[in-house]
């Protein structure tokens, strides 16, 4: 006989416990455990079940996945070339950053191509979606809206008339009647996602899910939600700023290093085809502490401006502040400058920033951070036509980075005439017209150009 039992789940990470705890052992969050009823039934007898026989990997035939365009080149890039039939895509991001807007723009483009689209909203009414759609553009008749909170209603319509793409906005508002839990609970999110995944695979329908995020920036609900879907996309950037970065965290059908750059306008999100030009717009000239580096996001080189401000501290302990860069990495480079370059920075505050609201994790930015810090400390402006990149080690050596030729060609395209890069990359670099390539093996050689 089936019976009910009480289980406690963590709302942040989905950790399961038989009793309530103040702090979650999984994510270390406080007061996040909620109580839910779980039905446990007897195991069904497997009478008449046929045995499963494994298949040799050499006998398995592969076929290229069928993709179709979203109408947005930046979104196609992040998805790996387009939408794959039968895929389940999770889109996360802060409130108001543009998750629903970009999916609504994608639906407009797909409906214009003749595809039948179903947009399911559990948060907004039909009139609210219509008002937002009128701001974006003109829609076709085959763009269908469904404002329900019950997953069974969606499944009934899909069985009658299969759409090409389904958008669920959002996963935390959809419920299943079989589970007696509140919308957005761990049990509801897991069950709804599992049934949506089954629908996508069996009916070959592409499904996009909008997910709310926690204060740490991860999708709310159980952590295995990200493991169940095929692709996880995150919107990055300040919602008060103009630019948005769409990054693929997980993608079974493409690369996870690609990013898409968008600009928020009154008519929705506009694609930024040349991020380097946009990020360098308004760059100050003949100013100390400013340097241009070339980062690689997936297969796309992007030129970014690193700004540093080093000044005498007024506190017992100097302040270290970073925006868009790893805080510990900047402290490490400050220590390298003190030990290997003989610069006394222990009595100075250091503020380092990436202009444009980008987040940079590429180790090739190390040399640019060093140049910006030394330029501000010595109050000496750098050559405005110079771009730098390279990884810096603890002994002060400048290590080689990947895709050096792509980075240099991007600098040439943007009009830069000098490139300071690792010597190991410069030795194997083909001759490129229009730019002077300087190879350095340690920071002492690099700082001679300041």
**Cis amide prior to 39 (ω within 30 degrees):** no
Q: Is 95 annotated as belonging to a binding site?
A: yes
- Does residue 384 come out as left (phi exceeding 0), alpha (psi in the -120 to 50 range) or beta? alpha
Q: Is 97 annotated as belonging to a binding site?
A: yes
Q: Is 185 annotated as belonging to a binding site?
A: no
For residue 115, give every residue at least 6 positions away whose Cβ sits within 8 Å of its Cβ, in sequence order, or none. Answer: 68, 142, 163, 164, 165
Q: Is 383 annotated as belonging to a binding site?
A: no
DSSP code of 397? B
Measured distance CA(12)–CA(16) in Å, rounded? 11
**Residue from 64, 67, 72 nearest 83 by CA:** 67
In a 13 Å sphere around the CA of 251, the CA atoms on its Cβ side amount to 24
Q: Is 376 annotated as belonging to a binding site?
A: no
Q: Is 129 annotated as belonging to a binding site?
A: no
**Residue from 210, 176, 177 nearest 194 by CA:** 176
Measured distance CA(212)–CA(221) in Å, rounded? 9
Joined tokens for residue 434: 């229009």
Please give the helix or strand (H or E) that residue 24 lies within, else none: none
Joined tokens for residue 313: 């501290």
Q: Is 99 annotated as belonging to a binding site?
A: yes
Q: Are 367 and 392 in contact (CB under 8 A)?
A: yes
Please give the helix or strand (H or E) that residue 200 lies within, else none: helix 186-203
Please give the helix or strand (H or E) that residue 435 lies within, else none: none
Secondary structure (3-state) at 86: coil
Maximal CA-CA distance, the chain: 82
Q: Are 372 and 308 in contact (CB under 8 A)?
A: yes
Q: Is 163 annotated as belonging to a binding site?
A: no
Return the residue matching tokens 């390298």.
Answer: 336
Cα 228 to Cα 87, 217, 220, 252, 307: the distances in Å are 11, 19, 14, 11, 40
Secondary structure (3-state) at 108: helix
Measured distance CA(141)–CA(114) in Å, rounded? 10
Measured distance CA(190)–CA(323) in Å, rounded? 35
**Residue from 409, 399, 411 nearest 362 by CA:** 399
Annotated binding site for ATP: 93-100
Residues making up the binding site: 93-100
């Amino acid at each position: 006989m089936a019976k009910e039992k009480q289980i406690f789940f963590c709302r942040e990470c989905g950790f399961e416990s038989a009793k309530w705890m103040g702090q979650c052992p999984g994510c270390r969050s406080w007061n996040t455990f909620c109580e839910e009823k779980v039905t446990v039934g007897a195991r069904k007898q497997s009478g008449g079940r046929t045995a499963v026989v494994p298949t040799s990997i050499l006998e398995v035939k592969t076929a290229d996945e069928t993709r179709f365009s979203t109408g947005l080149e930046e979104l196609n890039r992040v998805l790996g070339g387009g939408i794959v039939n039968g895929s389940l895509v999770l889109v996360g991001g802060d409130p108001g950053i543009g998750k629903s807007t970009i999916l609504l723009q994608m639906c407009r483009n797909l409906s214009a191509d003749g595809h039948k689209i179903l947009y399911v909203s559990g948060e907004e009414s039909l009139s609210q979606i219509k008002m937002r759609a009128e701001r974006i553009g003109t829609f076709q008749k085959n763009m269908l809206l469904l404002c329900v909170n019950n997953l069974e209603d969606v499944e009934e319509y899909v069985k009658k008339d299969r759409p090409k793409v389904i958008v669920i906005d959002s996963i935390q508002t959809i419920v299943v009647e079989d589970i007696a839990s509140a919308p957005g609970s761990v049990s509801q999110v897991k069950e709804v996602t599992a049934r949506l995944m089954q629908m996508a695979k069996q009916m070959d329908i592409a499904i996009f899910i909008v997910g709310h995020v926690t204060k740490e920036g991860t999708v709310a609900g159980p952590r295995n939600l990200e493991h169940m879907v095929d692709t996880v996309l995150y919107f990055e950037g300040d919602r008060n700023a103009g630019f948005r970065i769409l990054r693929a965290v997980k993608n079974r059908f493409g690369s996870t290093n690609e990013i898409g750059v968008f600009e928020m306008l009154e008519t929705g999100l506009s694609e930024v085809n040349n991020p380097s030009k946009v990020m360098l717009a308004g760059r100050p000239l003949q100013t100390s502490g400013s340097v241009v580096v070339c980062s690689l996001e997936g297969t796309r080189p992007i030129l970014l401006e690193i700004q540093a401000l080093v000044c005498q501290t007024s506190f017992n302990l100097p302040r270290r502040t970073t925006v868009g860069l790893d805080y510990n990495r900047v402290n490490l480079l400050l220590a390298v400058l003190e030990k290997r370059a003989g610069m006394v920075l222990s009595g100075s505050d250091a503020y380092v920033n990436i202009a444009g609201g980008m987040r940079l994790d590429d180790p090739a930015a190390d040399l640019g951070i060093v140049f910006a810090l030394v330029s501000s400390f010595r109050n000496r402006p750098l050559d405005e036509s110079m771009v730098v990149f390279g990884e810096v080690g603890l002994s002060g050596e400048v290590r080689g980075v990947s895709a050096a030729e792509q980075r240099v060609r991007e600098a040439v395209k943007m009009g830069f005439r000098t490139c300071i890069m690792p010597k190991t990359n410069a030795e194997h670099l083909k001759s490129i017209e229009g730019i002077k390539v300087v190879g350095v093996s340690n920071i002492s050689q690099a700082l001679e150009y300041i």
